[in-house]
Chain A
């Protein structure tokens, strides 16, 4: 699988409270959640995000609350993949379980760059700056969940064995 897209970039410790503020958690509707995505750190996000954009951030992305509303809001807003130096652990499992593509990667990427993520080869090509970097693939166990389209589907098929 390959994804090519334009980058929207944030810093370290982007917490789930700013990804989707708690005041909107009285709904679990994906469209409604997406309409408030990132609003407390970036009011312009909802207006400028385009389907296929790639979100890039620093370390500890998705820290804080366990709300699955966060990956749901990001995915629904059109973001095709999130790349961060590291992910907070609950966000990491939520992304895998809900089928939001994520990559742990530490290379140079700037706001507005166009990049190509190749999941099979484990490479990120920065088309704007013409550089290439590598990222480690997911362990097989997790790839299996992703391939089957999320946790619940994978459980069903494998006769309740995770």
Chain B
């Protein structure tokens, strides 16, 4: 019996020829990630355990992105703790305000992850790097502590579900709609403990940004990881961003899958997840008039340059609705700078949006755009759980950047065609 792509990466990292579904293994890690919320818990665990080694100072990455620039005194104390610890331990990849970005946009951009890597992160959206052909998955802070100390983690080898993609995406449709469509289909626990392996001739029609967005939300279907095959586009991206050498794994022809879904990309429409689950998806034929108060374009899901590029194109020469606070939050410093250099910041500001420095901010209801009771937000982020962006009685609608900006213009959830001639 052959192995899936994920199983091959796991086998290679635990020194075995083959691994089987359900097998418990201890594997060597290529990278261990934490942020300003999860690292303090990991550091406390690490200190309690009296470990004093770090397995590899270059393979630990700490990104201060959730509540930074520090939202309050407690957040300031937490980042201070991480900063001091990183200095003491000689952690090279410590990213603080000025350098930091939202972790899952930052790591690929900095070339810290490449194809074939095995990565754990104390953040559930660590699954994003599957877009690069890596096995990456979210864990907790204790796993992170053990990973930093010993460079290892335990895994239950997952079975996989194959998503055979074909066709091409239509206008106003991007990776976000593909993954929302899939989550709507399989449910928030449809892929529990499993790998989502994307394949098929449609893969070549998806940009790297589409693939990052799709893998980012694999966790929203309950999956352990999402992963794309490595093709010319992947290798080009890695070459442009990293000095590391990628290792290309691919699924065996006779690999066993729990299920295979055939997805015609050309049939997917702009898709919106209504409160309070990412699986509660609708397309415009089922959406009535939904007035909104806020729009957020940003996050590790859709805070990349191409997301702002398409939004600015729609917005150019128009204004956002006076009653909609529109927050533009580029995910990294590089993207922030590119928006300024290429005139996008001007378009957004003149239209009545604000453009913020990188932060997770409102995505997790941290700061920079918290919702009051009864308020509604269209957001390009990845979760719309109860209270995710503020008051427990506020509502988050997940959408692609095109729908988000169109909604900012009209003041209600809108298809981009409503605002473009």
What is A's interface to B at a CB cutoff of 8 Å? 13, 15, 17-18, 21-23, 25-28, 40-41, 59-60, 63-69, 71-72, 86, 88-90, 93-94, 97-98, 139, 141-142, 145, 150-153, 155-156, 160-162
Is there contact, CB below 8 Å, between A17 and B386?
yes
| Interface pairs (18), CB distance under 8 Å | A13-B189, A21-B387, A22-B366, A26-B78, A27-B78, A40-B392, A68-B122, A68-B141, A69-B37, A89-B192, A90-B140, A93-B139, A93-B140, A142-B24, A151-B143, A151-B146, A151-B154, A152-B46
Q: How many residues of B contact A (CB 8 A)?
A: 54
- Report the minimal beta-carbon distance from B223 to chain A, rounded to whole angstroms: 9
Q: Which of A13, A22, A68, A90 contacts B41 (CB 8 A)?
A: A68
- Report the minimal beta-carbon distance from A45 to chain B, rounded to whole angstroms: 13
B345 within 8 A of A: no
Q: Which residues of A contact B126 (CB under 8 A)?
A: 66
B249 within 8 A of A: no
Q: Which residues of B contact A155 (CB under 8 A)?
A: 49, 146, 149-150
Binary contact track B361-390/A, C-beta < 8 Å → 1, others 0: 000111000000000000000010111100
Q: A26-B71, A40-B392 are in contact. Are A63 and B142 (CB under 8 A)?
A: no
B118 within 8 A of A: no
Is there contact, CB below 8 Å, between B277 and A22?
no
Is there contact, CB below 8 Å, between A139 and B24?
yes
Q: Which of A18, A71, A72, A150 contacts B386 (CB 8 A)?
A: A18
Q: How far is the CA of A139 from the CA of B75 in the complex (A)?
A: 39
Inter-chain contact total with CB atoms closer than 8 Å? 150
**Residue of B at shortest CB range from A13?**
B188
Q: Which residues of B contact A152 (CB under 8 A)?
A: 45-46, 48-49, 51, 142, 145-146, 149
**Residue of B at shortest CB range from A39?**
B392
Q: A26-B67, A66-B140, A152-B145 are in contact. Are A162 and B37 (CB under 8 A)?
A: no
Q: Which residues of A contact B24 (CB under 8 A)?
A: 139, 141-142
A40, A86, A152: most-surrounded residue (chain B CB, <10 A): A152
A65, A66, A71, A155: most-surrounded residue (chain B CB, <10 A): A66
Q: Which residues of A contact B366 (CB under 8 A)?
A: 22-23, 25
Q: Which residues of B contact A66 (CB under 8 A)?
A: 38, 121-124, 126, 138-140
Is there contact, CB below 8 Å, between A94 and B41?
no
Is there contact, CB below 8 Å, between B386 and A156?
no
- Report the minimal beta-carbon distance from B206 to chain A, rounded to whole angstroms: 26
